[in-house]
């Protein structure tokens, strides 16, 4: 029997706000409140707030915390300073990816791993399997809410809520402090939109107060709640990978263009095989592309060459609200992966022209 779909703590508040709730990654989540387009542009040009409390949080503590993290993640967490975060992934033993994640360093003996909602149980089992050194592990996923306050006006909108100087919280850094009169809130300079802003981790008991305070403080900035529909189009314009689409248990970090988070300065799960792959090259690569003809690419559409031969497959695609054209990501044979290369997306039996582009697809 499948697990029942869970509600996030503020479910009723989102329903009252007019959020259209849909099952996503095992949780009822707000997909939109008004329109995806409107919400997307609100974040690109102003400020919006996502409730992404479905995400998972694991704490890794004790003298062996770093040793375990180094063993299971691809990036080099020994380079982190206290108050810094790092994008990483858990490679599996067969060349694919268990999940992508963010590693937060609180102290030499305390780290937090933030993982995708759909993979909480899988990731928890995975990290425990490798914990032969006896690090202390806590799955705090059900204890925290996570609000992503995103957009160029994010700092102005919420700076009145905290004594922390938000403009000093650098990208991929974080601090723990007072926010909306609540103590010990994790304020992180991270996000999945490329529009700037913060992610706020708060205990469930304080979540509704913090959410309402954010909207009260931001009302002069026309702050809006934003659903998962716009989250997807925003991340796609940046070329950020979505687990389950662009990266899976059968795509390697090298194929996915995640060589920059795969550090061979240490041994980690399957590092020998991935190192060999990096040295010898891969036969397919994840690319971003922009449609040159009118059409909206979608996941699993074939990618073909000018002769109509299949050279790959779309993993994510949409109509870009900021650019007004079809954009996407997909795997292609390596010889077609260079920016500027002409490719074709098969949309309803028509081969429509597209061009491989360097990421991000939305140029500043």
pLDDT attached to residue 4: 86
159 is in an annotated binding site: no
Taking the C-alpha atoms of residue 223 and residue 153, their distance in angstroms, rounded to an integer, is: 9
What is each CA distance from 184 to 78, 148, 181, 270, 310, in whole angstroms?
A: 25, 17, 10, 37, 53
User: Across the chain, which distance is largest between two alpha carbons, in Å?
Assistant: 63
Range 283-363: architecture per CATH: Beta Barrel (2.40)
What is each CA distance from 151 to 34, 42, 218, in whole angstroms?
A: 18, 8, 12
Give the homologous superfamily in CATH for domain 60-133.
Aminomethyltransferase beta-barrel domains (3.30.70.1400)
Phi-psi region of 21 (alpha: psi -120 to 50; beta: other; left: phi over 0): beta
Q: What is the dihedral of CA 189, 249, 127, 25, to 10 degrees?
A: 60
pLDDT attached to residue 41: 98
- Taking the complete model, does pTM exceed 0.95, yes or no? yes
For residue 93, which of 255, 273, 276, 275 has the smallest C-alpha distance? 273
pLDDT attached to residue 2: 61
pLDDT attached to residue 289: 98
Taking the C-alpha atoms of residue 312 and residue 345, their distance in angstroms, rounded to an integer, is: 9
pLDDT attached to residue 1: 52
What does the block give as tokens for 318? 């949409």
Q: What is the pLDDT along the chain (364 residues), one digit of tens a residue?
A: 567 899 999 999 999 999 999 999 999 999 999 999 999 999 999 999 999 999 999 999 999 999 999 999 999 999 999 999 999 999 999 999 999 999 999 999 999 999 999 999 999 999 999 999 999 999 999 999 999 999 999 999 999 999 999 999 999 999 999 999 999 999 999 999 999 999 999 999 999 999 999 999 999 999 999 999 999 999 999 999 999 999 999 999 999 999 999 999 999 999 999 999 999 999 999 999 999 999 999 999 999 999 999 999 999 999 999 999 999 999 999 999 999 999 999 999 899 999 999 999 999 7
**Residue written as token pair 């802003």:** 197
Range 6-55+142-237: architecture per CATH: 2-Layer Sandwich (3.30)
Enter the DSSP assignment of 84.
Answer: B
List the chain domain ranges: 6-55+142-237, 60-133, 283-363
What does the block give as tokens for 47? 């400020």
């Amino acid at each position: 029997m499948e697990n029942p779909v869970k509600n996030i703590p503020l479910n009723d508040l989102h329903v009252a706000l007019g959020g259209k709730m849909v099952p996503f990654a095992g949780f009822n989540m707000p997909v939109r409140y008004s329109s995806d387009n409107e919400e997307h542009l609100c974040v690109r040009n102003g400020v919006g707030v996502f409730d992404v409390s479905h995400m998972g949080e694991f704490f890794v503590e004790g003298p062996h915390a770093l040793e375990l993290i180094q063993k299971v993640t691809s990036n080099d967490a020994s380079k982190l300073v206290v108050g810094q975060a790092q994008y990483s992934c858990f490679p599996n033993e067969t060349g694919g990816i268990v999940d992508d994640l963010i590693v937060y360093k609180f102290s030499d003996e305390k780290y937090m791993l933030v993982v995708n909602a759909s993979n909480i149980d899988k990731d928890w089992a995975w990290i425990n399997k490798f914990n032969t050194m006896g690090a202390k592990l806590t799955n705090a996923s059900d204890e925290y809410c996570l609000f992503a306050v995103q957009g160029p006006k994010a700092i102005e909108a919420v700076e009145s809520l905290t004594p922390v100087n938000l403009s000093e919280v650098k990208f991929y850094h974080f601090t723990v402090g007072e926010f909306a009169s609540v103590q010990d809130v994790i304020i992180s300079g991270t996000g999945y939109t490329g529009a700037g802003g913060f992610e706020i981790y708060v205990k469930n008991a304080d979540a509704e107060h913090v959410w309402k305070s954010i909207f009260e403080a931001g009302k002069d900035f026309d702050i809006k709640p934003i659903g998962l529909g716009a989250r997807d189009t925003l991340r796609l314009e940046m070329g950020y990978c979505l687990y389950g689409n662009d990266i899976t248990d059968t795509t390697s970090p090298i194929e996915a263009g995640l060589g920059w988070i795969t550090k061979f300065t240490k041994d980690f799960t399957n590092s020998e095989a991935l190192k060999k792959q990096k040295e010898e090259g891969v036969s397919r690569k994840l690319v971003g592309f922009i449609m040159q003809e009118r059409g909206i690419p979608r996941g699993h559409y074939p990618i073909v060459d000018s002769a109509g031969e299949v050279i790959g497959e779309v993993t994510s695609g949409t109509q870009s609200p900021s650019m007004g054209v079809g954009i996407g990501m997909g795997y292609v044979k390596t010889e077609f992966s260079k920016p500027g290369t002409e490719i074709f997306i098969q949309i309803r039996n028509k081969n429509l022209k597209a061009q491989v582009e360097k990421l991000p697809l939305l140029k500043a």
